[in-house]
């Protein structure tokens, strides 16, 4: 038998599912190779849908039997799912399937990791558990009964009955199947609690294997900080009686935001001062926050289809970056994010797999969990916030949560809350979601009689995904630093919409140095002709920490390339600038460490290769 040829799915072909679901009851009898799953699903015709074909996804399932309203049916079964004739009225579908968790080495659906059962359903794993409309726009209330011999039996929501060998869970919040989770294992809990802004006490548990109890404290504290931060900054309160996290050794992703039952790769949650580095702690805090924040941006408001993945991921990455900035150092977080964006997302944009933040077609959605969807998706939200301002951003988010709670949404819904809040037309801004490629932005200066004109040009290289890119809306944060080191113009957001555009600063005494693209206000490749002396001046005096670091990096780059090519000694401007930063005790040590850092060996090699030289690793080293 041959594999089915991969099918391309198009955003433009979206149609709503033919049925809505009133309730889902699942019943698991756990056995390593022969788990039985019974489902009872109450369907009703969807008045919004034209196509009433009753199709349920299902892969690697053995169908034991199925009924509709109690009468036995014989569906047409294919390797992708089944179809069946159904009444033109509400009906109850019941089915029993057998699955093989122990033989499931894809780690998608229900599988076993070291004797424990666990699940991963995003994006399309639920169809390996039972027959179901496994698409994010079908949201339902689930009740789950687990029969199994393990001491800990967990699913989403709140427990309604826990006995030995059986637990029943009810999740009152309608959710898509990709947020379903089940865990059964010999686990121990590190427990705590959090009292929400309205005074509800939420039980918190971090479940681990016996022996790992000592590695939970940091993760638990990070969870409580995340819960508090989401209340303070976004007004988002947790909505169940308990929140569980489980650490699993075999896990495809870093972690997963299943409703009320987050599942983490052990490496993304367990930490101890004896064995973990500062970077490990920071990463764990960020991932816990990320998954927790999904409770609102992803779970309460989910995606209509997988093309909208950036709706939940871009926003949630943006939110976790804000959180880390608040918990730690905002400049250090911004610089680290830009280093990562350039290394991973810019590279993606330059390669054959370049794709827009919201792709328009795919064959396999698992290939789109990319730096473009996640990190560039977050950059796009950062730009939107800069363009509309903090107050309008916050109002737009309030409207988003009010208007779309309980819905499966699109990027159009997301942008509309900003348009409705601000009265802006975001048609051109939407190109950030539809065009692949990193814009190249160049700036030249004209100085005449106290007036500085900055002339910008933007150009996005064509790619297979976007053969004819159009100009993007670019928020360009600019400030001016005087010759004496004082800031003569505070940060202004220049809004560039054309391919070429000039901005004028007047009433200036002596010629200042322009600090352009402060805070990396847009994800572009900037070309600004500055002398080494000007760069050293910005490194020493810029009020924008990102640009201080950036100018130091540019100086380091220039100096190292000259040293590699010509064997010269280090540029004294660079050394003097670095010396002034690292000896400034008022600056954060982590920031000073970043300024002291060098461009990577691969960055240097790439630059040499681009210029036609043959990079010599020994000399670079
Ligand atoms: N939805 C998961 C996450 O982003 C998958 O990686 O957290
Ligand atoms: Zn996520």
Residue 69 has pLDDT above 90, yes or no: yes
Residue-level pLDDT at 610:
87
Query: How confident is the model over 71-76, as a mean pLDDT?
Result: 98
Residue 115 has pLDDT above 80, yes or no: yes
Residue 362 has pLDDT above 70, yes or no: yes
Structural domain spans, the chain: 16-186, 187-277, 302-427, 435-529, 531-621
Same fold across 187-277 and 435-529: no
Query: How confident is the model over 86-93, as a mean pLDDT?
Result: 98
State how far the alpha carbon of 250 is from the alpha carbons of 160, 170, 211, in Å: 29, 26, 17
pLDDT digits (tens, 9 = 90+) for 414-425: 999 999 999 999
Question: Minimal CA–CA distance to 445: which of 550, 528, 543?
Answer: 528
Task: Report, in angstroms and rounded to the nearest whole number, the Rg of the chain calculated over CA atoms.
Answer: 27
Residue-level pLDDT at 94:
98
Going by C-beta distance under 8 Å and a sequence separation of 6 or more, which residues neighbour residue 304? 14, 136, 137, 408, 409, 410
Q: How far, in Å, CA of 179 to CA of 67, rounded? A: 26
Q: Which two tokens stand for residue 66?
A: 């199925």
Q: How confident is the model at residue 50 (pLDDT cuts 50, 70, 90)?
A: very high
Percent of the chain with pLDDT over 90: 97
**Atom number, ligand 1, closest to the C-alpha of residue 254:** 6
Question: Minimal CA–CA distance to 553: which of 491, 616, 600, 606?
Answer: 600
Residue 531 has pLDDT above 90, yes or no: yes
- Whether the CB-CB separation of 169 and 155 falls below 8 Å is answered with yes
Phi, psi (5° rounding) for residue 599?
A: -55, 150
Q: How far, in Å, CA of 517 to CA of 440, rounded? A: 12
- Whether the CB-CB separation of 372 and 348 falls below 8 Å is answered with yes
Query: How confident is the model over 530-548, as a mean pLDDT?
Result: 96
Q: Which CATH superfamily is domain 302-427 in?
A: Neutral Protease Domain 2 (1.10.390.10)
Fold of 187-277: Zincin-like (3.30.2010)
Residue-level pLDDT at 3:
54
Q: How confident is the model at residue 1 (pLDDT cuts 50, 70, 90)?
A: very low
Ligand 1 and 84: CB distance under 6 A: no
CA of 366 to the centre of ligand 1 (A): 11
Nearest CA to ligand 1 atom 7: 256
pLDDT-wise least confident of 53-67, 115-129, 236-250, 606-620: 606-620
Cross-strand partners of 493: 477
- Whether the CB-CB separation of 522 and 378 falls below 8 Å is answered with no
3 state DSSP class of 166: strand
Residue 198 has pLDDT above 80, yes or no: yes
Nearest CA to ligand 1 atom 2: 256
Q: How far, in Å, CA of 220 to CA of 218, rounded? A: 5
CA of 342 to the centre of ligand 1 (A): 21
Residue-level pLDDT at 2:
46
Phi, psi (5° rounding) for residue 248?
A: -125, 140
Max Cα separation, the chain? Answer: 89
Residue-level pLDDT at 271:
97
pTM reported for the whole predicted model: 0.98
**Atom number, ligand 1, closest to the C-alpha of residue 255:** 7
Which active-site residues does the annotation give?
291
Residue 434 has pLDDT above 60, yes or no: yes
Residue 5 has pLDDT above 80, yes or no: no
Count Cβ atoms below 10 Å from residue 486 Cβ, excluding itself. 11
What is the torsional sign of CA 599, 601, 604, 610?
negative
pLDDT digits (tens, 9 = 90+) for 367-376: 999 999 999 9
pLDDT digits (tens, 9 = 90+) for 268-289: 999 999 999 999 999 999 999 9
Could you say which ligand is closest to the alpha carbon of residue 254? 1
Q: How many CA atoms lie within 13 A of 130 on its CB side?
A: 26
Q: How many CA atoms lie within 13 A of 252 on its CB side?
A: 20
Q: Which two tokens stand for residue 174?
A: 């309608």
pLDDT digits (tens, 9 = 90+) for 547-595: 999 999 999 999 999 999 999 999 999 999 899 899 999 999 999 999 9
Q: How many CA atoms lie within 13 A of 350 on its CB side?
A: 11
Listing DSSP states for 485-513 in one string gives S-EEEEEEEEEE-SSEEEEEE-S-SS--E
- Whether the CB-CB separation of 29 and 377 falls below 8 Å is answered with no
Q: Which two tokens stand for residue 348?
A: 């993606």
CA of 25 to the centre of ligand 1 (A): 26
CA of 447 to the centre of ligand 1 (A): 49
Question: Minimal CA–CA distance to 184: which of 150, 143, 147?
Answer: 150
Ligand 1 and 253: CB distance under 6 A: yes
Residue 620 has pLDDT above 70, yes or no: yes
Second-level CATH architecture of 16-186: Sandwich (2.60)
**Atom number, ligand 1, closest to the C-alpha of residue 122:** 1
Q: How confident is the model at residue 4 (pLDDT cuts 50, 70, 90)?
A: low
Q: How confident is the model at residue 606 (pLDDT cuts 50, 70, 90)?
A: confident
pLDDT digits (tens, 9 = 90+) for 217-242: 999 999 999 999 999 999 999 999 99
Q: How far, in Å, CA of 415 to CA of 428, rounded? A: 11
Ligand 1 and 349: CB distance under 6 A: no
Query: How confident is the model over 324-347, as a mean pLDDT?
Result: 97
Listing DSSP states for 270-338 in one string gives ---TTT--HHHHHHHHHHHHHHHHTTTBTTTBEESSGGGHHHHHHHHHHHHHHHHHHHS-HHHHHHHHH
Nearest CA to ligand 1 atom 6: 253
The set of long-range contacts for 423-430, using a CB threshold of 8 Å and a minimum separation of 24, is: 424/387, 424/388, 428/471, 428/472, 428/473, 428/497, 429/383, 429/384, 429/387, 429/473
3 state DSSP class of 64: strand
3 state DSSP class of 135: coil
CA of 58 to the centre of ligand 1 (A): 23
Residue-level pLDDT at 507:
95
Ligand 1 and 122: CB distance under 6 A: yes
pLDDT digits (tens, 9 = 90+) for 280-321: 999 999 999 999 999 999 999 999 999 999 999 999 999 999
Listing DSSP states for 449-464 in one string gives TTEEEEEEEEE----S
Fold of 435-529: Immunoglobulin-like (2.60.40)
Query: How confident is the model over 501-513, as a mean pLDDT?
Result: 97
Ligand 1 and 290: CB distance under 6 A: yes
Listing DSSP states for 109-141 in one string gives EEEEETTEEEEE-TTTTGGGTS-B--STT--EE
- For helices 278-293 and 217-234, angle between their N-to-C axes, nearest 10 degrees: 50
Sheet containing 242-248: which strands, arranged edge to edge?
A: 188-195, 201-208, 242-248, 261-265, 255-256
Residue-level pLDDT at 575:
93
Total residue length of the chain: 621
Percent of the chain with pLDDT over 70: 99
**Atom number, ligand 1, closest to the C-alpha of residue 294:** 7
Q: How far, in Å, CA of 620 to CA of 616, rounded? A: 6
Query: How confident is the model over 131-135, as a mean pLDDT?
Result: 98
């Amino acid at each position: 038998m041959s594999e089915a040829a991969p099918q391309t799915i198009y955003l433009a072909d979206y149609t709503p599912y033919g049925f809505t679901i009133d309730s889902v009851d699942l019943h698991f009898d756990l056995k390593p190779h022969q788990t039985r799953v019974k489902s009872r699903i109450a369907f009703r015709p969807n008045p919004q849908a034209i196509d009433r074909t009753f199709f349920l996804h299902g892969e690697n399932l053995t169908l034991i039997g199925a009924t509709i309203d109690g009468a036995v049916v014989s569906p047409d079964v294919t390797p992708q799912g089944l179809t069946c004739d159904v009444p033109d009225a509400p009906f109850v579908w019941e089915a029993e399937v057998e699955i093989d968790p122990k033989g499931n080495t894809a780690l998608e659906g229900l599988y076993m990791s070291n004797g424990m059962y666990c699940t991963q359903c995003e994006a399309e794993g639920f169809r390996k558990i039972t027959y179901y409309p496994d698409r994010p726009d079908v949201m339902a209330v689930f009740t789950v009964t687990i029969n199994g011999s393990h001491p800990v039996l967990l699913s989403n929501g709140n427990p309604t009955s826990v006995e030995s060998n059986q637990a029943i869970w009810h999740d009152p919040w309608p959710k898509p199947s990709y947020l379903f989770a089940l865990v059964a294992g010999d686990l121990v809990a590190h427990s705590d609690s959090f009292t929400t802004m309205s005074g509800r006490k939420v039980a918190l548990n971090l479940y681990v294997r016996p022996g790992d109890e000592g590695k939970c404290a940091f993760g638990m504290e990070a969870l409580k900080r995340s819960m508090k931060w989401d209340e303070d900054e976004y007004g988002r309160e947790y909505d169940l009686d308990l929140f569980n996290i489980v650490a699993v050794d075999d896990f495809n992703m870093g972690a997963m935001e299943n409703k009320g039952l987050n599942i983490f790769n052990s490496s993304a949650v367990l930490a101890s001062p004896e064995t973990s580095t500062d970077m490990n702690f920071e990463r764990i805090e960020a991932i816990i926050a990320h998954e927790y924040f999904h409770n609102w941006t992803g779970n309460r408001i989910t995606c209509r289809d997988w093309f909208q993945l950036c709706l939940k991921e871009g926003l949630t990455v943006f939110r976790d970056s804000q959180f880390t900035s608040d918990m730690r150092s905002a400049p250090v977080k911004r610089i680290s994010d830009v280093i990562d964006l350039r290394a991973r997302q810019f590279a993606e944009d330059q390669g054959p797999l370049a794709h827009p933040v919201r792709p328009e077609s795919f064959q396999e959605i698992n290939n789109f969990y990319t730096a473009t969807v996640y990190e560039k998706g977050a950059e796009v939200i950062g730009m939107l916030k800069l363009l509309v301002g903090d107050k309008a951003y916050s109002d737009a988010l309030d409207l988003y949560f009010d208007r779309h709670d309980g819905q499966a949404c699109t990027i159009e819904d997301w942008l509309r809350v900003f348009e409705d809040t601000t009265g802006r037309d975001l048609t051109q801004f939407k190109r950030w979601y539809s065009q692949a490629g990193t814009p190249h932005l160049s700036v030249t200066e004209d100085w005449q009689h106290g007036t500085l004109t900055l002339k910008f040009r933007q150009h996005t290289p064509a790619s297979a995904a976007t053969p004819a890119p159009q100009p993007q809306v670019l928020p360009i944060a600019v400030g001016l630093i005087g010759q004496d080191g004082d800031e003569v113009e505070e940060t202004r957001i220049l809004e560039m919409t054309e391919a070429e555009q000039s901005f004028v600063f007047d009433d200036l005494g002596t010629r200042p140095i322009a600090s352009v693209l402060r805070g990396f206000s847009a994800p572009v490749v900037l070309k600004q002709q500055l002398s080494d002396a000007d760069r050293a001046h910005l490194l020493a005096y810029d009020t924008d920490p990102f640009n201080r670091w950036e100018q130091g990096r540019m100086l380091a780059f220039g100096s190292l390339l000259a040293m590699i090519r010509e064997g010269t000694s280090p540029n004294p401007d660079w050394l003097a600038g670095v010396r002034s930063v690292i000896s400034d005790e008022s600056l954060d040590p982590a920031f000073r460490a970043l300024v002291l850092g060098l461009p990577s060996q691969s960055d240097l090699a790439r630059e040499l290769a681009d210029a036609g030289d043959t990079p010599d690793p020994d000399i670079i080293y």
